[in-house]
Structures are given as structure tokens and as C-alpha cells.
Structure 1
């Protein structure tokens, strides 16, 4: 049960009488349910290993539960209809339809669907559970018809993340007790004041989801904006000095700088506004509401799973708090190789100091959680250096659920720092509002090299209660929607610079894991407890100080854990989930030389460089060594074949051979039998800064090379990947760019 009320959007849902959006036929639903049942089959309790030690009612309930039980298949369909790419949805429905027919099942399943009785061919749902399991195992290994493999993978991910993260109206899921998971209910009432009833952004926030066509103009007018209505064309016209699209690390900082400089600022944010009192720490509802596409965003080929914030505060509201300054090697690269003196200037170095002070960065940590204890112990046993990670929270912060919003109000995202400064100086934040295109006209200004001039932005409210089209006119327009959204917005507005949408870097990660039973006494706690990232190990090349990868720890709620962990069979997967709470994970982050592109919303294409795969391999190997040295009884990777080894009783040679067998595989659409899904929580570079128009989409002031008055102020500005968590770099760059914009406005 919740210890206090949270926002209705972040609670569990009442299932009785709940109707799901379902456009699938009964035949398609039958096939889908059969696949879900195969992934998580109901099993007799007698089949559980070490049954005497696992005979609780909770374990029995979990063991006998099925992935096909209501509402899992219905929620899968609802998510697919809302979020899947059209071509992916067509392919998935085609596969489900084929599996609902005997001939289609024969084509996809082969001899496994045959029997000795008329009509001799079973459709998929009529096949035995064992044979259905063999079919899925076969398709996960199939090297040629990879689109079919993608379909089974997509269903696997959605089925498991829903099953393990869903909760009822009381915020409960009966299987959590079996896997050793408890929702973080702790709050810090010391961070609440009488003013918290009005919320920190109350002075400037306008939440479109609560407004109507009548009240929205009134609210905006009350906040000091100039508002007029063009009823004939259904346009609500708004005038301000600066309009900013996005409220995250870039937009939040820009709003603060420009508002405190005396300009009337309007921030547009397509996500909703929540405070620490609103957060629930419930994985399912929180992911659905706070993340882009509910956390199901992937590259077009399924190779990279992408996490990006979609709420007021953007990624800073749900990131893992790591606050690392831009490495000197990166600043040198940008200033010398890219000739951007901006990044070697006192201006930028001073900005990093200002940013760290404003968001309360500290590198002290009083108590570490299980995963960071494992990282530190393993490194120390191997004689490797392990550093504390600076965080934008207090040294006593012991919150493992900041990725669902910090309930303690301790982590200092932009929504409790920079945006507060902004609204205190008259800025207005309009949440639930999505920018559609920039308003551009031909630039007739004498002596100006830019062919266009930006006058503002057109936007729409994302809910149906407001039907106005919003036309925001401003002296300066800033795109701060992040590396995934700034390029599509600029391209759809008619900008042509070749760098827009290209050079997208993702900091791709792969994971390794180690199981530490409860009897490993010197490592206390569960994997979801304690600060998410408090320790880091840098994997350096043997012949130089070059950092090939860094090893950190991730946030792993049961939904994300289950969706990413390799599936080998139903019983194996259920056994693995019983070990969830003590299965520590490490991530290896690389400074990727490979890159991708994002030209249309939701369509990321990405390719690895050979050096990326080599660096990833070295990072994975080192991470496994650390887990083994920390005392893991079993270690493995997330490779599709369930690549793992039990450490007990193994010789040093056997363990070394296992570690050396690790490599960076291709993705699920590669023609490899063994594959992996990479992760990305950092996206950057897709609208990079360049010294000339041919080298970048914007100049050193962040201004578009094509449109006067249009600026970019987010992670897409960065010339390359950074190789570390980028929050400080993004905010420092935004701070400098915003100050330069303020200087230009003063000169007008």
C-alpha cells in the first residue's frame, strides 16, 4: 500500500471493468496469448528446484501464474496500437494471423506443429507447451528471417515488462514478494514546506491537461503573456520574448538564464508536471508517464533500446543523478580537432562550476547500495581503481528509485532548480504542449548571411480538451527537445543543413550480471536499493591512458530486468526471476565513434564502428572480472543464448576462458545466431555545433546557420559523444549559449 497519496497518473489501475483499446481480431489475440503463455508458463510447484526452500504462498502463486492472464495480452495490444511503428505493427499482426491458421503455423513452425490425427496440423495455440517453447527458442536463434525474430522479441519484451511492472489500484503486484521486490515508500518530509502545497513551479506552470479552450487563454494571460484569439482559424496567438521547446537539462537552464536577464520566457513541454509528492516509485505507471513512449523507444531495427525523459524537467527528472564534468580529453578534442574554442574558454570552465553549485553536486556517499558495493569490492580485490561518482543529491541520499522521480525531493533536477529560478523571474511553463514546427520566413535583413528568420513556433496541446492551435511569436526561439526531437522539428520546419539529424551518438551499453545469494554476508541489500550510480571504474588501454569504457551500475526494476534478461525457457526464466533481488548488474558505457541519424520522429538508425565493438568487448570482460572477484556464484551477459557460467568449483582457467569468450554481438536483425539488445540513456550530437555551416547545424552561439533567431540548446549541440554521463556537459553548454542569446537580445 502507498504510505501517501501520489498523482493519479502514477498510480496503479483498477482492473475490474477496465476496457482496453483492442483492434486485434480474436484469432490474433489467441496467438498472442499463446505466445505470452509460452514465455511465462503456469508450472506445477513440484517443478521448482529446491522446493523446500521456496514454498511460500507468494512463490507458489508466481510459479502457477501465466503471462497470458488478464490483462497482459490486452495491454500489449494497447501499447502496440499507441506506439509501434506502422510497418512493425503490420508485420507483427501478419505473424499472429499466420499462427492462427494451420498452414501459416506450418510455415513458421515446421514439423513441430504436426500430429498423427486429422487434420494433422495444429495451429500455434493448439500445440503443446513444450513444442511452442521449442518454436520460440528456434526463432530466437534463426539467422535469416530476422523480421520474425524481431516480432517474437517485441512480444517477449512487452509481455515481461507488463507482467512484472503492472500493479493494481493499491500499488501492488502479487509476484513482487516472490522475487524479493518492494516498492520504495520512504519519503523525506523535511523537504516539504508550507509552500509545497502550491508546488515549486506554481508561479509559472500552466498544465494544459487541466484546461479548456476557455480557460487556457485566461491562464496564460494571468501569467503575464500577451494573448489574442483568432477564432476564425482556431489559432491562439501568444507573444513573448523567448520561447523554449523543452524543459530538460538544456531548456531548463536556458529558461533560468534568460528569465533572470529580464526577458519574458515561455517554455513548452509535451510531458506533464509532477512534484516529489506526486511520484509513486511504481515502475509501470512511472515509466508510462515519465519516459518517451513509456520506455519502449527503440532504434528501427531493435538493436538499441532508448530511454529518454518526457516530463517537466526532462531527463534530469528521471536520470540516475551522475554529475560528471566534461573530461579534459573531450574538451581538448572539441577545441582543437573541431576548432571550437568555446570549449577551452574560461567561459565554459566557469559554467561547469556554476552548474555544479546550482544543482548541489557532491562526490561524497555515506552508504552505497548492493550493486555499487559489488563494484567497489570487486575492483579493490583486483587492485583496480574505483572512484566515487559526483551526484546532484546529498551525500546521505539512499534512493534506488530516482529513475521514477525522486520521492524524497533530494535529487536536484531542473524542475526543482533552474526552472524554479525561471518562474521566480516571470517565466511561464506550458506542460502538455507539443511543438509542431518553427515559424520561418525569408530574411530580408541587409548584411545577414542567414537566408531565413525564425518568428516563433506552432504548437498543439497533446490532449483533446484544448483544440486551439497555438502560435507563439518570439524574438528568439530555442529548440531544447533533446537529440531525438530537435532534428525532426527542424527538418519538418524546412531547414536543410546536412548535419541536422546526423552524427547521433547514443553511448551504447551492454550489461553483465552476477548472482550473490543472501548468504554472501558482506554485501548487503537488494539491487534496487541505494543510490543508483555512486561508483565508477574506468577501463583503460594497456599502452596509454585512453579510456576504452567505463563500468557503472544501472537502475533495474523488475520490469526492465525481465524484459532485457535473456529468455531460454519458461522454467529457466522463472527460476532466474526468483534470484532477481540479488542479481547485480553492471553497464559498460563507451564513447562511441559510430553514429546514427534521426530525421523523423521515432525513427532512429544507428551503426557501430569497429572500434566501438572492440572497446565494448574490453569493458564487458573487465566487468565480468570484477563480478567474479567480488564473489559472484554465477555470472553472465545479456547475449541471446543466455551466456553464463557458475563460478563455484570452476578453475581459474575455466573462468578466464569464459571471460575471453565475450564479444560485442550484432543486434536482433543481424544475421547472427547470438545477438544482443544494446541500451542507451544518453543521446547527443544530432544537431552539432560547428565552426562552419558544412561542419555543423549551428554556430558557436548555438544559432542555426540557416535561420536567424533560431537556437539549439540541448544535447544535440555536442560535437561528439562524451564517454561519461552528459548532464553537466549539457547544462554547462546550455548556460553559455543562453548567456550569449541574452547578450544578442540586449543589442537589439
Structure 2
């Protein structure tokens, strides 16, 4: 595909117009799924739009990324962790945001989650045809459709669930027909037949470009600017980095509307640097902790073949009707993720384990966390810090999901299973002579292994987990009043005229599923609200 985007040279713009000479109707801070939706809508109603992105642009010539250069597309080069080091946090800093480097799973918000948000957070419209239309609209925009095939590890998950009577389902994908790429987590290169993932750079941002929107990359926004009344938006201030020289230029952009779409980790920091005082900013952060389970098999698993995530086991997602639990899914098999799951005891053993890569399959247990944390600025650097710990309830739910996944992997013939809990030895399957497969979970080795996990479940205490997160949510959440939220039902920041949020920070609590579609649908509603405001203003002006 011919690269369609041209990015402003803000150094030259400042030279020509002066530091305050740039002016737009709307500035969208962040180019991820939410930002793309709003930019497209704002441009479609005739507004002059600028989308600014802190990261760079992965154009076709730069793809596919390799396992080292790809790290630069993520916050802190994939080194962001919680204060307690409980979780490593993956969040995008690249043009297209999380949509450019996710695994294409399209999981609409589920009924029990929508019910919770309507009843507990006062968002009655979440359970309405209006919001369903937002969901349907964004699913169509991104070309979400059922998967054409299931690769080895996805098929393994589905078949194991079927044998055990566990609920499971295929997941829609935002992919062009014929897409068969296992590397979308590093940015989609289109695979051998040129079929691409339909991320924001090929859908909403591209549409916004065609409608006249402008773009700037390498622009890190420091704060939103306000009029003298401290409540009315007048623009943004930040620094633009020249991609050739590395020189940083201070830039002010004037605008009557600013939409912050920098993600649940960075949006709260921008709001706090803008001297907003709402107590909820940065709080109610949910992370969907995930536990990576790796297993090996007698035959080749073709780890990098096929689309990454095309199904989910939902058996454990709603424990005892509470709305909280886990989903079991597949993981990207790029080498850093794959080797991170291999336990280290000594060099020789570790090397031998690495040679099993072609027979390896990685899966995750994804937790809908009731626990919430907080993102706040590092007092020394100003970068993100995350305070977060898991509750006993969340720990027990995680262990239940792990036990379910272990049962599936064992049923499917796993030779080894690694659960990253300190002190828990790798499960190694005895020979068929020692323990016949026909005995199933009555075999002493697997029964003992599962019993250890069940003991952890009962106590709710685990010595040490190795966990990750790719789904930061909340921290700028939507609600019915400023007492318990940051924005209203249209994404408008409480008490501020012309300031909006449109990203995963809007989610009132954890979505319990890959949040791409939920984020898009909520941002679609924010975009519609902004469009309605513009239409109303035009009508009012016409009457005058």
C-alpha cells in the first residue's frame, strides 16, 4: 500500500507562524483507536483537525519490525512496571496506537459488563439500542469478521475446551480476507499475500486524512491550555522532536476543543499536568493481569504461523455470577515473549529448553480485575508510575483460570507445562508406560500438580507471580458525576468547556475482554456527541 500520510514539520511551522501561530478547531492528542474515531468524525463535520502523536510512524517500508527495533513502539521500551514489580505493562507509543500493534481480537462488551456499567455507574444508555449501534458501527468500520482459520495453538485451545465441556468461542478479527500473519504484535506487514490488519492507519485515520485532517508525529503534549477563567480550553502546549536532528521545539497549538486520546496510562498525566484537580484522575485503573503459561508437545506447533488470537475459552469469566473471572486465550509467539516464559535453572538446561521453541505453545489467563490501581507522575522524571496490587479475590480467580488452562493443555497432550509461580516446578509428563493417557487426571503427576494450584486458590496467597498487562483501562473514567468519575456520558471532562477524553481510560471498570471494540464504541459515542454540538452551533448561528 502506498503510504498515505504526510506529517507536519512543526519546526518549520513555528518559524513561519510563530510559537502561537498554529490554530485548529480540534486537536486530538493521540492517534490510537479512540483518537482515530474522533478525528474522522470531527473532520467529517467540517472542522479543522490536527492529530498529534508522541511516537513515530510504522510505514510499509519499516515493516515487519524485528524483535529488537519493535520495542521502541512501546511505553518505556516495554520496561514499564507497577511499583511493586507485580506486572509488566505493555502500552503503545506509535502512530495508530494500540490498534497498530494489537492482536486483532474484536470482542464486543458483554451483557453482564454492560449491565454493571448501567446499574452501578449510572450509564443507563449502555444498555440501549443507541450504544449497540455504536458497537455495530465500529465493528463495521474496522472490518470485524469471523476468523477464516485457527492455527495450532488456537485450535488446541478450542479442542481441549470441547473435550472438557468448557464454554469457548471464536473471536472476530479486524483483518482483510486472506490475512495470515503471526507478527501483528510488532506492526502488521500484511503477510505474504499482502492482506493487512485494518488498524486505525488503514481505517479511521486514513478517512480523517482524506477529509482534510492534519497529522504531527514526535509531538509530546505537556499540558492543555485554558483561558483566564481556567475552565475554557484554548489549546495545547508541548514539544516536537525533529526526526532528523533530534532537536526539540516548544509548540503551542490554539484550539477551542481538545480531545485527549493518549491511553489510560498517559491521558491522566496530561490532565494532571494541566492542573486539573478532580480526585478521580489517574484512579480506578484496571490492568487485566495476565499469566503466561507455556507448554511443549511431541510434534511441531508452527509457532509463528497463522493469526495470533482467534478464540477464547469463556468458561471461567463469570465466577458464581459475580461478573469477575478469567478468559483463556492465545499469545503472540514472538521470541521475547516465548523465551520469557522459559524458566532458568542453569545454562545447559535453559539452552535445551530454547531448542523446543518449534514445539512450544504459549497461552494466557486474562483476569477481569475487581482491584483497581492508580497512575501518577514520577516526581523526578514526570513519566508514568503505577501503583497496583491484586486482591485475594482476584488472585483466586486467576488461579482458577490457570487450573482450567492446565487441564486443557494436559488433555491436548502437553509434555511440559510451565506456570510462572515461584517455587512451583515445571510439570513434566511421564511416559505412556508410567502414566497412560487413558487415566486422565487420575494420573499421580498431574493430580499432584493441580493439587498444588488448588492449595494456592484456597489460600488466595501466591509466593510470587510473573504477570503482565496489555490492557490498561480506566483512570479517566466515565460516570454520572465528578464525585466518582473524570468525564460525563459524552466524554466531556467535568467542569471544563471544550475538553474531552476518548480512549480506554473511559471504561468505568475492567471490560473483562480485549478492550479494542469497547474503546472504539465509547469513543464513537464521544465523537457523535461532539458532532451534535457542532451541528447545534451551526443551527444556532443560522438562526441569528
Equivalent-residue separation in structure 2 for 1:489 and 1:664 (angstroms): 44
Equivalent-residue separation in structure 2 for 1:237 and 1:731 (angstroms): 32
Specify the alignment match of 1:47 in structure 2.
Answer: none
Specify the alignment match of 1:3 in structure 2.
Answer: none
Matches within 5 A, 1:608-623: 608-623=390-405
CA 1:544 to 1:735, structure 2 compared with 1: closer, same or farther past 3 Å? closer
**Match of residue 258, structure 2, among 460, 477, 482:** 477
Specify the alignment match of 2:239 in structure 1.
Answer: 460
RMSD (Å), alpha carbons: 2.2
Residue 486, structure 1, aligned to residue 267, structure 2: yes
Name which of structure 1's ranges 677-686 and 635-644 shifts more when overlaid on structure 2: 635-644
Equivalent-residue separation in structure 1 for 2:340 and 2:283 (angstroms): 29
C-alpha contact 1:478 1:711 (8 A) present in aligned 2: yes
Specify the alignment match of 1:709 in structure 2.
Answer: 498
Deviations 1:536-595 (A, max 9, x none): 101336755956211000113222322343322222221211112222111011110001
Unaligned runs of 5+ residues in structure 2 are 378-382, 436-441, 538-544
Q: Residue 625 of structure 1: SS of its match in structure 2?
A: helix
Of structures 1 and 2, the one with the larger relative CO (CA 8 A, separation 6+) is 2
Equivalent-residue separation in structure 2 for 1:322 and 1:383 (angstroms): 23
Residue 393, structure 1, aligned to residue 175, structure 2: yes
Residue 433, structure 1, aligned to residue 219, structure 2: yes
**Match of residue 525, structure 2, among 736, 744, 748:** 736
Residue 534, structure 1, aligned to residue 310, structure 2: yes
Matches within 5 A, 1:636-647: 636-641=418-423, 643-647=425-429
Matches within 5 A, 1:565-584: 565-584=342-361
Equivalent-residue separation in structure 1 for 2:162 and 2:125 (angstroms): 39
Residue 689, structure 1, aligned to residue 488, structure 2: no
Specify the alignment match of 1:118 in structure 2.
Answer: none
Deviations 1:507-562 (A, max 9, x none): 001122211132xxxxx542222111011101336755956211000113222322
Deviations 1:426-473 (A, max 9, x none): 100101111011102343xxxxxxx61221110101345444311111
Deviations 1:57-76 (A, max 9, x none): xxxxxxxxxxxxxxxxxxxx
Q: CA deviation at 1:293?
A: 1.6
Q: CA deviation at 1:642?
A: 5.6
C-alpha contact 2:491 2:500 (8 A) present in aligned 1: yes
Equivalent-residue separation in structure 1 for 2:325 and 2:527 (angstroms): 33
Residue 548, structure 1, aligned to residue 332, structure 2: no
C-alpha contact 2:84 2:389 (8 A) present in aligned 1: no
Residue 561, structure 1, aligned to residue 338, structure 2: yes
Equivalent-residue separation in structure 2 for 1:746 and 1:466 (angstroms): 41
**Match of residue 34, structure 2, among 250, 259, 264:** 250
C-alpha contact 1:369 1:398 (8 A) present in aligned 2: no
**Match of residue 656, structure 1, among 430, 442, 447:** 447
Higher-Rg member (1/2): 1
Specify the alignment match of 2:91 in structure 1.
Answer: 308
CA 1:673 to 1:723, structure 2 compared with 1: closer, same or farther past 3 Å? closer
Matches within 5 A, 1:215-234: 215-217=12-14, 228-229=17-18
CA 1:734 to 1:546, structure 2 compared with 1: closer, same or farther past 3 Å? closer
CA 1:663 to 1:643, structure 2 compared with 1: closer, same or farther past 3 Å? farther
CA 1:256 to 1:336, structure 2 compared with 1: closer, same or farther past 3 Å? same
Residue 365, structure 1, aligned to residue 154, structure 2: no
Residue 275, structure 1, aligned to residue 59, structure 2: yes
C-alpha contact 1:701 1:737 (8 A) present in aligned 2: yes
Q: Residue 314 of structure 2: SS of its match in structure 1?
A: strand
Equivalent-residue separation in structure 2 for 1:423 and 1:246 (angstroms): 15
Name the TM-score, length of structure 1 as normaliser.
Answer: 0.66
Residue 495, structure 1, aligned to residue 276, structure 2: yes
Q: CA deviation at 1:217?
A: 4.7
Q: Residue 329 of structure 1: SS of its match in structure 2?
A: helix
C-alpha contact 2:338 2:362 (8 A) present in aligned 1: no
Name which of structure 1's ranges 459-468 and 408-417 shifts more when overlaid on structure 2: 459-468
Equivalent-residue separation in structure 2 for 1:356 and 1:711 (angstroms): 23
Deviations 1:231-289 (A, max 9, x none): xxxx253100000100001101110111111101001101111223421241111122x
C-alpha contact 1:511 1:620 (8 A) present in aligned 2: no
Matches within 5 A, 1:40-119: none
Q: Residue 163 of structure 2: SS of its match in structure 1?
A: helix
Equivalent-residue separation in structure 1 for 2:355 and 2:169 (angstroms): 32
Q: CA deviation at 1:396?
A: 3.3
Q: CA deviation at 1:397?
A: 2.3
The count of corresponding residues between Structure 1 and Structure 2 is 513
